[in-house]
Structure 1
């Protein structure tokens, strides 16, 4: 792969229990000049250790096998390697699986049967601070019991946010900095920081990733990058 001087391609690692799936993703990614593959694994233990050692920008993980390739693996990796963004890849098209993956720390969810372009869109969106939900799920309205925050809290927490706090959370969730939020809302940066802290207190988080997961569950942000 050839890149221009100073260009840093997105480093991606693939972990899936099916070698044929890995081969297909590898063939797709190798054609992209802004993406480089740093590893591929069909063994969970090897995948986890390699992600810890290599710290790729993005790890594409199968999430379809509970106890082997599942939500617990996402939780483990987001704790051990917070600089690596997890993109969940699953055969499940039910929205509950996407909710669980995002709540565990994943930054995106892609259905295996989706077109190749969807996976590429997801990689680029997640790499640059976005949260990605497969369009195959986007039209499915979240039921009330699924409108919980990242830790299973009910949607009533969203109602406790003021209009300004909600606006700040939406922008933070889309990857904007405090300065950019202030400019967009026409307020001072100090005010933007204050609203962010207040919203974080109510949602019990200070993490941008958690804000993104929460906003996605509430249906506040669109698919893809900012």
Structure 2
């Protein structure tokens, strides 16, 4: 069977990348043609062309998988995104859908499902290979740090002020916000603040 699905694997953990690469390269109809250790490398590889599916970890450094997926969508790049993450809550899946992902898979799924997901996404089948859980708690799915950042944003603080309050860099604040936006299904700071107030988010007084 000729190779027909050309894949990029983007993840900041080299052991994980090697494992996924070995898994996919063992399939006659799949070839891993590029790897990336962070979001910026992933975007460069995608812009270079020659890819069918980008398997993206959502929590990469420099630029997150959410950022990369959004760039693919906004620039109309000819690749389909299979998002990998540890989260399975409904708001996070919904946010990734809005940000351009074609498929979603949690990292705890069996290897056979990863292969199936790559093939399905390559065929243009928008599928979620998880059973998303919906939680009443508006903070469900957010990390403790993401909750802190969102609460400060909702209080009207700018990124620099948030960083000073939490003793983290502005770039780290932006990364936390990008992940938070994806999880709650919004695209801008204004929408995030509105979401926080609408849902009675803790600290958004």
1:207 corresponds to: none
2:122 corresponds to: 127
Q: Does 1:26 align with 2:26?
A: no
2:48 corresponds to: 53
* SS in structure 1 at match of 2:109: coil
> Per-residue CA shift, 1:132-153, capped at 9, x if unaligned?
2123x25x4698x9xxxxxxxx
Deviation of residue 81 (structure 1)? 4.4
Q: Is residue 55–residue 81 contact of structure 1 (8 Å, CA) maintained in 2?
A: no
Q: Does 1:75 align with 2:88?
A: no
Structure 1 moving runs of 4+ over 2 Å: 64-68, 78-82, 140-143
> Per-residue CA shift, 1:163-199, capped at 9, x if unaligned?
xxxxxxxxxxxxxxxxxxxxxxxxxxxxxxxxxxxxx
Give the unaligned 5+ runs of structure 1.
Answer: 146-226
Give the unaligned 5+ runs of structure 2.
Answer: 139-205
| TM-score (norm: length of structure 2) | 0.60
Q: Does 1:85 align with 2:76?
A: no
> Per-residue CA shift, 1:72-102, capped at 9, x if unaligned?
2211122234320011011112222111111
2:101 corresponds to: 106
Deviation of residue 105 (structure 1)? 0.8
CA RMSD of aligned residues (A): 2.2
- Count of aligned positions: 137
* SS in structure 2 at match of 1:22: helix
CA distance in 2, matches of 1:54, 1:78: 15
What is the correspondence of 1:140-155 to structure 2 with a 5 Å cutoff? 140=133
